[in-house]
Amino acid sequence: MLQTELHKVCNVRVSVQTVRNRLREANLHAQVPASGPMRCIGLRA
């Protein structure tokens, strides 16, 4: 987890919410993998 890595490397404690807020400010949002079969546009008939 990023929170743990920051503590190990920089000896800084941050809350999970702070990490989420900073990621959101950078337009980095959690993504859920697509479900179902993979589709390739080039293989369509």
DSSP per-residue codes, the chain: -HHHHHHHHH-----HHHHHHHHHHTT----PPP-S----GGG--
Separation between Cα atoms, residue 31 and residue 38, nearest integer Å? 17
Separation between Cα atoms, residue 24 and residue 30, nearest integer Å? 9
Is the model more confident about 19 or about 44? 19
Answer whether residue 36 is part of any domain.
no
Look over the chain and give the mean of its residue pLDDT values, rounded to a whole number.
81
Answer whether residue 41 is part of any domain.
no
Answer whether residue 1 is part of any domain.
yes
Is the model more confident about 6 or about 45? 6
What is the span of the domain harbouring residue 9?
A: 1-29
Confidence (pTM): 0.51
pLDDT at 25: 94
Answer whether residue 24 is part of any domain.
yes
